[in-house]
Amino acid sequence: MAKQKEENESWGRFVLDVVIIWAVLMGIFFLLFRFVLSNDTVSGPSMEPSFENGQRLISVRHAAIKRGEVVIVKAPDEPGALYIKRVIGLPGEKIVSKNNQIYINGKKLAQPWLTQGRKMEDTATDTSFAATQNFTMKSLARSRQFAQYYTKPQLTYINQQNRIPKGTYFVMGDHRSVSKDSRYIGTIKRKNIVGVVKLRYWPFNQFKVY
């Protein structure tokens, strides 16, 4: 009887230990994805062919933001929605688009992320990934829709300096001809950048670390 009781107590402790470990792991997992990481799904064609609809990504919250990185942002024009875009211009920079080239502070920006799309372009079906209209910050600010995304001081700064407002980032999709991005919804505040994409884990055959 004593041996049976000891075995039951041992089994009970084992089950309790498993439950405690599981609870701790779940707590760590929850905190990790609540404050450090973000699990996101690509929706729409705006980053084709770099990222396709339905792919699943892991991004790092509060990471340093560099030009060329892919970020998850809160959509300024659609509360609750998230967009995936690429950082093109940094706060305070002068950005100019001319003849499908981007110039930052007067220097042409190398855009290797557009290479794959350019190779896939089909003039017969008018499929254009890299087509970018000519613009400056000042010319974009003339559009009526821009007024709803900026404060008056920001609009004054744009019109006077022709630069990206401080504390905001100019983002664009790699599928330029269809992307709704900073050309239409304004630059993105740092607090509205959810995270920097570091991993694509689905589908498995397209697994990639960035």
Q: Which residues are catalytic?
A: 46, 85
Question: What is the phi/psi pair of residue 126, to 5°?
Answer: 60, 40
Tokens of 93: 């920079």
The DSSP string of the chain is -HHHHHHHHHHHHHHHHHHHHHHHHHHHHHHHHHHTEEEEE--SSTTTTTS-TT-EEEEETT----TT-EEEEE-TTSTT-EEEEEEEE-TT--EEEETTEEEETTEEPP-GGGHHHHHH-BTTTTB-SS----EEHHHHHTSGGGGGTS-HHHHHHHHHH-SPPTTEEEEE-SSTTT--SHHHH--EEGGGEEEEEEEEEESGGG-EE-
